Amino acid sequence: MTEISGVLIFIIGSVIGGIIGYVISRITSGRKQKAAQQQALDNTKAELDHYKSQVSNHFSDSAKLMGQVASSYQALYSHMAGQSEALLDATEADVAFPQLKTPPAKKHKEPLAEKESAQEKAAEALTAKETEQKTAAEALTAKETEQKKAAEALTAKETEQKKAAEALTAKETEQKKAAEALTAKEAEQKKAAEALTAKETEQKKAAEALTAKEAEQKKEKQAPQSDTAKETRQIKAQEIREIKAKDWMLQTD
């Protein structure tokens, strides 16, 4: 029974160990997945920041170049208009250059609007990605919470099984002690029976010896005797032997 209980406890321990290992591996993999998602989020933010910086630098450089182009165009136009007024005759005044009315600053409105639109779209994309990652992180947290509850329930079950195994071991110990006590009692009873048998054997031998003595005495009485003194001695000896035999039987009882 003890060997069967040991094997049963070993099997239960092996199953529990396997379940614990599985739960721990799931929790560890969940944490690794969460860490990977956080790393991906950080990388995405860094890429978006870098993209924003590149876009800002691009439009800033483009605005500067456009300003330089507008200034050069303004200088060229002024030069051509001044030279036409100085070199052409009055009859050819109709070829004079008209005044440039469009200010250079207005030419930068469309690139700036495109820049703001691109930045806004990038921000919306980042917000949507962050929302997805946040949802995934919440789902992962909920999963970890469930795994934690499952691990706690498993630990409680293991504690109950351990208590049951300890109770079973205690019961087996008590049964073993009871069996040992019963065996000791049986041994004592066997010894008492053997002592009683030995006592009965001694009493039987004493009775046989007494019977033999009585037979001898009977033979002696039947034999002819020469004088009265001899008979008297024999009677006294017989009485003494009887008294001793009775005392011995009383002591034996």
Nearest to 137 by CA among 26, 43, 39, 48: 39
Averaged over 15-19, what is the pLDDT?
Answer: 79
Residue range of the domain that includes 31: 2-188
Structural domains counted in the chain: 2
Q: pLDDT by residue (tens digit) across 135-177? A: 877 887 887 888 888 888 888 888 888 888 888 888 888 888 8
195 shares its domain with 177 = no
195 shares its domain with 175 = no
Averaged over 165-191, what is the pLDDT?
Answer: 87
Residue 110 above 60 pLDDT?
no
252 with 210: CB under 8 angstroms?
no
The pTM (predicted TM-score) of the whole model is 0.30
What is the reported pLDDT for 90? Answer: 46
16 shares its domain with 125 = yes
182 shares its domain with 221 = no
178 shares its domain with 196 = no
Buried b (16+ CB within 10 A) or exposed e, 86-117: eeeeeeeeeeeeeeeeeeeeeebeeeeeebee
Residue 108 above 60 pLDDT?
no
69 shares its domain with 142 = yes
Buried b (16+ CB within 10 A) or exposed e, 136-145: eeeeeeeeee
11 shares its domain with 102 = yes
181 shares its domain with 227 = no
188 with 238: CB under 8 angstroms?
no
What is the reported pLDDT for 113? Answer: 62
